[in-house]
Amino acid sequence: MGGEKSKILIFGATGYLGKYMVKASVSLGHPTYVYTRPLNSSSSKLDLLNEFESMGVTIFYGELEEHEKLVSVLQQVEVVISTLAVPQHLDQLKIISAMKDAGTIKRFVPSEYGNEVDRSTNALPPFEALLANKRKIRRAVEVAGLSYTYVAGNTFLAYFVDYLLHPHEKPNEIVVYGTGEAKVVFNYEEDVAAYTIKAATDPRVANRVIIYRPPANVASQLELISAWEKKTGRTFKRIYVPEEEIIKLSETLPFPDNIPVAVLHNIFIKGDQMRYELTEEDVEASKLYSDYNYTTIDKYLDICLVNPPQPKLAAFA
């Protein structure tokens, strides 16, 4: 698949990351397809699908339970990328079964894009349950004998800059989780999508994990706040939420409200994404695709300074 254009089918295309994935696939010149549930005429996602069609995307409507339809669609493509949301992660077992029967798929990228789940530690139970589901999908892919690429995209930059700094609101106070010193890897959503499309069609990343850890995008909460203070010329009061309080919330909040606090604990307090060293055996995206000009934290904060993006509506778990 190196250098060639591949027919790429995307699941979850109308979701938070999915729309970036579709646009990246099209912009990189791949014939792009979407499999989505049938929509009624009042659906808010209709405009997005119309936009996809205007870009030349082929849209298939169907349910994941429609096995024969799914197989017939899969037989028309070569690469499958899933961006299904957390509640649908185990539904990917239906896609895996259909891909096995189709017999045409050269690469599958399951829906992950966060921590490297086989190296993830220190997760509180609500988040560990999500990681366990992602591992279950990995093992099912391997048992099915499918060629895969697993993506450790770490933390979405635009989403969490909005969540942590609230640049559109211009607050006087900023909440810090734990000590604020744990290192986190931030990646702009458009870059996550672009790297994923490149990796999904790259023979060098077949049956490998690819980790998105660009050196300019590793920062702690305190470093992020300080950088924003320098950009804005303001000083923010830091409100510290101790680790013990976050742990207690993860134990007392009902499902699914307990999941985001467990995610915050793992990433921003325990620093799980930077707790392991990359070795020569690891594939790191910014090194593999060194010609790709990724969006740095500094550059994204400049964007926020001029035109703060609207708050993200997606849940981050």
Q: Is the pLDDT of residue 259 over 70?
A: yes
Q: How confident is the model at residue 316 (pLDDT cuts 50, 70, 90)?
A: low
| pLDDT of amino acid 314 | 58
- Please check the confidence at residue 44 and state whether its pLDDT lies above 90: no
The SS3 of residue 264 is helix
Distances (CA, A) of 104 to 22, 108, 127, 143: 21, 11, 34, 17
- CA dist 189 and 174 (Å) reads 23
How are beta strands 283-284 and 208-211 bridged, if at all? parallel
Helices (H) and strands (E) in the chain, counts: 12, 13
Catalytic residue among 19, 45, 106, 134: 134
Give the CA distances from residue 198 to residues 60, 208, 311, in Å, rounded to whole numbers and listed in that order.
Answer: 23, 13, 28
Sole residue written with tokens 């997606």: 314
pLDDT level of residue 40 (50, 70, 90 thresholds): confident
Output the average pLDDT for the chain.
95
Concerning whether 134 is annotated as a catalytic residue, the answer is: yes
- The pTM of the full predicted model, rounded to 2 decimals, is 0.96
Question: Is residue 281 classed exposed, middle or buried when 0-12, 13-18 and 19+ CB atoms within 10 A define those classes?
Answer: exposed
